[in-house]
Amino acid sequence: MSALVKVGDVWKSFDQGRVEVLRGVGLNVAEGEIIALCGTSGCGKSTLLNCISGLEEVDSGDVSVSGYDVVNESTRVDLLRHHIGYIFQFHHLMQDLTLAENCYVPVIAVGGSKRDARERMEELAASTGISHRLNQRVRELSGGERQRGALVRSLMNDPKLLLCDEPTGALDEENREKVFDLLLDLVRKRGRTLILATHDPELASRCDRTLRMRDGRIERELVGK
């Protein structure tokens, strides 16, 4: 299988180089793979996900997703809009919009049709058990409902790559399991690629591979189940 994500010798620091976070990270992720990204708090997992998506610029090194050069600014926006779904730790849904309105945002950003989007949203909402909450404002939803909503939104443009940053971190054990099951199910059924930053060894063990970050690099590979 060809690599969908290629990261080669990526360096990234903050505060004019005073905080060195990524120090020569390299990894390849094949299309359809489900990867857990582990490591202690502050080791650079979110920074790496941000560099892969192009939300954060690298200091040096190469990043490509689906053949697009992420380091190149002119292709980055296109890539992010069309091919990458992102689920953040605290969902980042707009509180005063309904869940449905939130789901239309990424579709409108790529000039998609609202009619097709509605069909897709209803299908995804049904499979995540959130249909009855679509017309509710996000501020009125529970944490688990918001995370399921964020999952629906992240898949609206059917991205090739889904990046998830502790997507279930704020949930209790029961909801964590439920949301993660849905996530894996949706990704596997569509043959999509997932990189999941997580502290939870239980969730990591259900991925195809675990990559552990340490000292700004990928330390070693642990084989999942």
Ligand X SMILES: Nc1ncnc2c1ncn2[C@@H]1O[C@H](COP(=O)(O)OP(=O)(O)OP(=O)(O)O)[C@@H](O)[C@H]1O
Interacting residue with ligand X among 25, 27, 29, 46 (CB under 6 A): 46
Let me know: does 13 contact 1? Beta carbons within 8 Å: no
Interacting residue with Mg ion among 46, 64, 66, 102 (CB under 5 A): 46
Instruction: Report the half-sphere exposure of 101 (CA within 13 A, side-chain side).
Output: 10
Round to whole Å and give the CA distance between 195 and 208.
10
Query: Given the complex with Mg ion, which of 47 and 66 has the nearer CB atom?
Result: 47
Interacting residue with ligand X among 44, 106, 144, 159 (CB under 6 A): 44
Q: Which does 44 bind (CB under 5 to 8 A by kind): Mg ion, ligand X, none?
A: ligand X
Round to whole Å and give the CA distance between 36 and 225.
12
Let me know: does 22 contact 210? Beta carbons within 8 Å: no
Q: What is the largest CA-CA distance in the chain?
A: 49
With CA atoms as reference, report the closest residue to 206 among 185, 179, 224, 223.
Answer: 224
Residues 47-106 that bind ligand X (CB under 6 A): 47
Binding region for ligand X (CB under 6 A) out of 25-33, 39-47, 63-71, 95-103: 39-47
Return phi, psi of residue 132, to 5°.
Answer: -70, -5
Query: Given the complex with ligand X, which of 51 and 134 has the nearer CB atom?
Result: 51
Give how many residues touch Mg ion by CB under 5 A. Answer: 2
Binding region for ligand X (CB under 6 A) out of 38-46, 109-117, 182-190, 214-222: 38-46
Let me know: does 65 contact 52? Beta carbons within 8 Å: yes
Query: Given the complex with ligand X, which of 56 and 69 has the nearer CB atom?
Result: 56
Q: Is 43 in the site for ligand X (CB under 6 A)?
A: yes
Binding interface with ligand X (CB under 6 A): 14-15, 19, 21, 39, 41-47
